[in-house]
Every structure is written in structure tokens, then in C-alpha cells.
Amino acid sequence: MERIITYSPAYTLVPTYECFNRCTYCNFRRDPGQDEWMSLAKAQKILDGLPSDEVIEILILSGEVHPQSKRRSAWFQRIYQLCELALANGFLPHTNVGPLSYAEMSQLQQVNVSMGLMVEQVTPALLKTVHARAPSKLPEVRLQQLEFAGKLRIPFTTGLLLGLGETVDDWQESLAAIAQSHQKWHHIQEVILQPHQPGQTQAELRSPCQGKTLLQAIKIARAVLPVDITIQIPPNLIRSDQALLACIAAGARDLGGIGPIDEVNPDYDHRRRESTEALLKAQAWSLGRRLPVYEKYDDWLSDRLITAVKKWR
């Protein structure tokens, strides 16, 4: 059996960095009204410059405009338009823009081959600390997104943030909630285990999440999650080659979307692909490209999206 670690060749488009949440560990957000939204002309220029035979996924990653804001509909329209543009240019969109209404998610389903949102942690304790000024980080809101995606038959990626002050029991509870949703709807492609690493613009400087902590979380996740959910780890947040290999040995099988910049963690560059390939090869693993939608979910897609996917299959 061939031993493959997968990744998605990706490029990230950010409609806006503005966000009404104020998570203390964030290195992404800007205050509402302090960021110019990405225009379609700028997006087209970016897409024109991408190597069309190498980049597959266009990740639409956005800060959040409040659901009650007068600008919410314009924000949502821009996200939809960017997905349309990506499709028109031959790429496969995957959107992660914070909690959506059922109607919004249903609309975006028309122009996305998959979607995602981190659960982060389901413990309410973080609402008193790192999420005290982050209304959309309510655990029930995050878990509702999993249910919406399941009902709509949207291939979905979710995950946990590690090192925010949560406990191992919190990991267990969060992973069990994800597993329960998947057992009902069978829609979770991947669960990301993302270790916190400090950045230059976060409001509260926190200690980095160490490799041993991530390794423990992977082992627990592999025991709790159904076997058909892939465990994903962000390789740029794992600084040691040996730690990365230990995570793979423990059950991680995907490295996520890899592009020029990690917009969420801009201080942490990815390893060169050739270096990763050599590292894996030495352990009898190979690095393989994948699409942002797993093949078993192709029949969940509309005819238009299936046509776009078949080009890459």
C-alpha cells in the first residue's frame, strides 16, 4: 500500500481583514472600517498571475462582518463573486469566512466544492478569556455550522485550535462533538489540529503550543474521530522536522492548503515543497497533491461543479 501524505496546492484570496471579533491571539484581523475590501479587478489580476497547472484551490478567507451590519449583504456578495471568479478561471473555490446563516451557506454551496469553519473548542471557559470579545465564537454557533453543512450535503473541513488555555478534556469534548455530527451526516472531510504559535500583531502574547502537545492531540483525535475523517496539520506551525514526522507517525495524513503566505499565521513560512518531499521520502512516505473536495463527495456537487472538478481529477 502506497504511503501518501496529501496537500492542496492553494492560493488565498482575502475579501477583507476587517472583523467584529477581537480574539486575543489573532494575527489576521483589522478593525471594521479600517480595511479596503478586495476588488474583483484586483482578484482577477492575481488569478491571471497564478500558474494554472499548479494551483488548484482558491481559499476564500475573510474576516467577519456582523450579521446585523448594513454591510453584511455587500460583504456576502463579494465573497460569492470571488468564488464565481475563481471557478471562471478554472480553479476550485473553498470558502472559510466565519459563521453563515443557513440561506447564505446554501447560496455559497453553488460556487464552492467544499467549505470550512474551525470549531476551535466547545468549552465555554474560553468565552471568559481569549474569546471574551468574540461573539461568533460561541460553541453552539460553531457546532450549528456543522449541522447546516450536513443538512446541505456540503463537504466540510473543521478543526481545533490548541494552546488557548483549554484542557485535554476539552479536546475530547470538541472532537466528540465533531464525530457526532459526522456520524449523522458523513460530511467532514478533515479535522485540522492547529497549534497556537505567537505572532507579531496579536493582542495577548501567549506561549507557543509545543510539539509534544500537538502529538498528544493527534493521538487522541485518531482514537475519537471516525476513521474516514482525515487529520490535517499545518506544517509551517511545526518548526522541527522530527516533530512533523512524529505527527505523521501518530496519524496525521494531510498538510492542508499550501500557498505563498499563511494569511492566518503570516510570521510562519512554509517549507519548500522539495524539502518536504525529501523529508517524507527518507521515511518511505510520498507527498501527493489533492483537490479541496475528496473524490467520495463528487456526487454531492452540482453538475457545474462536477465539470470543474473533473478537469483536475
- Cell numbers placing 234: 499545518
% of the chain residues with pLDDT over 70: 99
* Predicted confidence band of residue 296 (pLDDT cuts 50, 70, 90): very high
Hey, CA dihedral for 194, 67, 108, 29, is it positive or negative? negative
What radius of gyration, in Å, describes the C-alpha atoms of the chain?
18
pLDDT digits (tens, 9 = 90+) for 90-99: 999 999 999 9
Q: How far apart are the first and last CA of the chain?
A: 21
Mean pLDDT of 38-43: 98
pLDDT digits (tens, 9 = 90+) for 257-289: 999 999 999 999 999 999 999 999 999 999 999
pLDDT digits (tens, 9 = 90+) for 199-237: 988 888 888 998 899 999 999 999 999 999 999 999 999
Are 191 and 250 in contact by the 8 Å Cβ rule? The answer is no
Q: Domain extents for the chain?
A: 4-305
Hey, CA dihedral for 192, 196, 201, 203, is it positive or negative? positive
Looking at CATH, the fold of the domain delimited by 4-305 is given as TIM Barrel (3.20.20)
CA 255 to chain centroid: 11
